[in-house]
Chain A
């Protein structure tokens, strides 16, 4: 077997290693390998290359950067096109269809963000998610997952379902929801006084919005934009401000 033939076989070795040869070609190659120390040693080399490739790890992103990915993408998709043209108001004017689409995107981004933020491990986020969804099942979960938090106690008191009751009872009445918002807002304000964070401020703004207090809501959204321009909440706050301007 001369060296020229062997070159072809060396290439086939790569395909063989990945199971990309058909049975006939594979058999022909195996037969050649039995009689050709040169190609047999090439196979060993390739095996070593493959093993070397296998040693390279991939560092996965930290969950805190990874969890909001979809929300960040939707927020990015909704904002920059208008901003880049230097006019936020152009978003509001290009006709009803476009405006409606933008609004849907904004709402979508916020909904996704709310859902993702709802997975964050704080009592308030669980609470906000439960209230937003008008879901007293989530309220119960809050009481179980954060048994020591003030909000869990409030949730337990207000929920028509008792934690230990076999009867699930009626859904949360509207009045209770309003009371919840008040409670949540005052709880948040306390937290913000103790240690301010963009997430809490954004949520507070959301609460004002839910209470239909637009001036307060706008003020909070603007505060998020001003004080935390680099956070993902700034993007979301910007979206809300645009939405409210329409």
Chain B
């Protein structure tokens, strides 16, 4: 693994030098934030959860035993954190879309008012919604495979499941996405 973050993580684990922690955070914060944002769909919450993820790195780094690459360990931590959070929030709130979704939940009749420029945004909303409507396990695998470009074998490590499970979950996700986006497309015509 020639990820320079791996060496940083080992150094911080050994020496606990705050300067190394700063480097580690700088190295991974964007990736961690992106994954979390894709999973929870809200920028503010993604920022808070990224902070929480880094806090857990700091607190629990001793538990990283090097059997998995550091970034596998980190992705697992971040994905679990985001999934737990999203699950809790979906239970608490009727509408699982963040305030930063300007086009979330258009009221009945509102869609007709969009002009052509806004049509793209409506489509974007549909895609976002299709992603957020996926069950967490499916969404996690789509995020890690499609956006983070992790090989499925690596995703199996991150999720702690068998490769076959990752594959069947990915298939299910794509069937749902295809159906959701096709249905939306037809509705529009």
A61–B152 Cα gap in the complex (Å)? 29
- Of the residues A15, A49, A58, contact of B34 by C-beta under 8 Å: A58
Report B-chain residues with C-beta under 8 Å of the C-beta of A49.
174, 177-178, 181
- Asked if A3 is at the interface of the complex by the 8 Å CB criterion, the answer is no
User: B111 near A: Cβ within 8 Å?
Assistant: no
Q: Are B127's CB and A55's CB within 8 A?
A: yes
Distance (whole angstroms) from the CB of B121 to the closest CB of chain A: 10
For the complex, is B54 an interface residue (Cβ under 8 Å from A)?
Answer: yes
Q: Tell me whether A14 and B171 are in contact (CB under 8 A).
A: yes
B87-137: which residues lie under 8 A (CB-CB) from chain A? 100, 123-124, 127-128, 130-131
Task: Collect the chain A residues with CB atoms within 8 Å of residue B159's CB.
Answer: none
- Judging by beta carbons under 8 Å apart, are A61 and B47 in contact? yes
Residues in A whose Cβ lies below 8 Å from that of B127: 52-53, 55-56
Chain B residues with CB below 8 A from A72, complex form: 51
Q: Is A133 part of the contact surface with B, judged by Cβ < 8 Å?
A: no
Q: Does A46 contact B (CB under 8 A)?
A: yes
- Shortest C-beta distance, B75 to chain A (Å), equals 16
> Would B100 and A59 count as touching, CB distance under 8 A?
yes
| CB-nearest residue of chain B to A52 | B127
List residues of chain B with CB within 8 A of the CB of A14: 170-171, 174
Contact, CB under 8 Å: B18 / A50: no
B contact residues, total (Cβ < 8 Å): 44
Establish whether residues B30 and A45, one from each chain, have CB atoms under 8 Å apart when the complex forms.
no
Q: Which residue on chain A has the smallest CB distance to residue B171?
A: A11
Question: Assuming the A-B contacts A59-B43, A61-B43, A74-B18, are A69 and B167 also in contact, with contact meaning beta carbons closer than 8 angstroms in the complex?
Answer: no
> Majority SS of interface residues in chain B?
helix
Residues of A within 8 A of B70 (CB): none
Within 8 A of B (CB), among A59-86: 59-61, 65-66, 69-74, 76-77
B186 at the interface (CB under 8 A from A): no
A115 CB within 8 Å of chain B? yes
Contact residues in A for B38 (Cβ distance below 8 Å): 56, 58
Task: Report A113-157 CB contacts with B as 1/0, cut-off 8 Å.
Answer: 001100000000000000000000000000000000000000000
Given known contacts A48-B181, A112-B22, A74 and B174 CB-to-CB distance under 8 angstroms: no
Which of B17, B33, B54, B130 is in CB contact (< 8 Å) with A60?
Answer: B33
B19 interface residue (CB < 8 Å to A): yes
Separation of A153 and B37 alpha carbons in the complex (Å): 46
Query: Which A residues fall within an 8 A CB radius of B?
Result: 11, 14-15, 18, 20, 45-46, 48-50, 52-53, 55-56, 58-61, 65-66, 69-74, 76-77, 104, 108-109, 111-112, 115-116
12 new A-B pairs (CB below 8 Å) besides A48-B181, A71-B22? A14-B170, A18-B145, A45-B178, A53-B127, A53-B147, A53-B177, A59-B100, A69-B50, A70-B18, A104-B16, A108-B21, A112-B18
5 contacts between A and B (CB under 8 A): A56-B128, A59-B100, A61-B43, A61-B47, A112-B19
Q: What are the nearest 3 A-B pairs in CB distance?
A: A108-B18, A70-B25, A70-B22
